[in-house]
Chains A and B, each alone.
Chain A
């Protein structure tokens, strides 16, 4: 089973959003199993541009796509909601090649930017 994925942006998107540092990220809600406070027993990973800081507080968004359970370090859970169609956009060509490959879209909703992440493109590490 493929971990991650890129949804059709013209459709209403059920997303899980979370904040890491000053940045908000979004992943398809169906890929999120739960949020836990400890990384114990998990393979951990970090969102693009964020260093993994295991054991320094925060929580972990657990995804079990692809058969392995991976915990992504997050600071705050945002919305778990269906975002309106066409509120998310593909990254402009100029940015695509200069951005982390896992970032494939951006949503500008209510003055906040959410970066769409393809979990399949995030490297994981075992701690």
Chain B
């Protein structure tokens, strides 16, 4: 094989690599998932619909004595006691909830269900993997999968397993 043939072969291989990358990018664009967007404090967060069991409206939260500050309490969900947490406090933030509608997003955590108390449910949106951007280094957290920018808003996509991980 002479030099020209080698260069030709190399060119063909490069083309194949580019095509594969283009297909991968296209596939990532096409893989969409739904995200429930909600407001907590003054920030917008998102949870993959696949992680959510249900959304509960206006349940009475009973505080539990001698628990960490991020535990709001428990609710009675059709005869099941479900612990309710504030993810912002769990992630080290301060309590700045507005409690406009008092909705609880119930997610599966191991064998239990855990509720996340939020101020307001915003919407359910279709997101592709390419819409999820890495957080700036100063905001990187294991609890946040990435940042979704949509209509000028920034939505932090939560990883419930990390957010709810027991101390």
Contact = CB atoms under 8 A, between A and B. Distances in A.
Instruction: Give the interface size class of chain B.
Output: 20 to 34
A100 interface: yes
A106 B62 contact: yes
B67 A50 contact: no
Interface stretch (A29-37, A56-64, A68-76, A85-93): A85-93
B63 A95 contact: no
B60 A92 contact: no
A115 B64 contact: yes
Interface stretch (B45-53, B68-76, B132-140, B147-155): B68-76
**Residue of B81, B110, B111, B167 with most partner-chain A CB within 10 A:** B81
Contacts of B111: 93
B67 A98 contact: yes
A94 B112 contact: yes
A39 to B, nearest CB: 21
**Residue of A95, A97, A106, A108 with most partner-chain B CB within 10 A:** A95
B83 A94 contact: yes
B107 to A, nearest CB: 11
Given A89-B81, A92-B112, A98 B71 contact: yes
B65 interface: yes
B71 A49 contact: no
Contact of A103 (B66, B113, B167): B66
A82 to B, nearest CB: 20
B164 A95 contact: no
Given A49-B65, A99-B64, 20 more contacts: A48-B65, A89-B80, A89-B81, A91-B74, A92-B83, A93-B110, A95-B64, A95-B71, A95-B74, A95-B83, A98-B68, A98-B167, A99-B65, A99-B66, A99-B67, A100-B66, A103-B64, A103-B66, A108-B81, A113-B73
10 contacts: A89-B81, A92-B81, A93-B112, A98-B67, A98-B68, A99-B66, A100-B65, A103-B64, A103-B66, A106-B81
Interface of B: 60, 62-68, 71, 73-74, 76, 79-83, 109-114, 164, 166-167
Leading 4 A-B pairs by shortest Cβ distance:
A49-B66, A49-B65, A113-B62, A48-B66
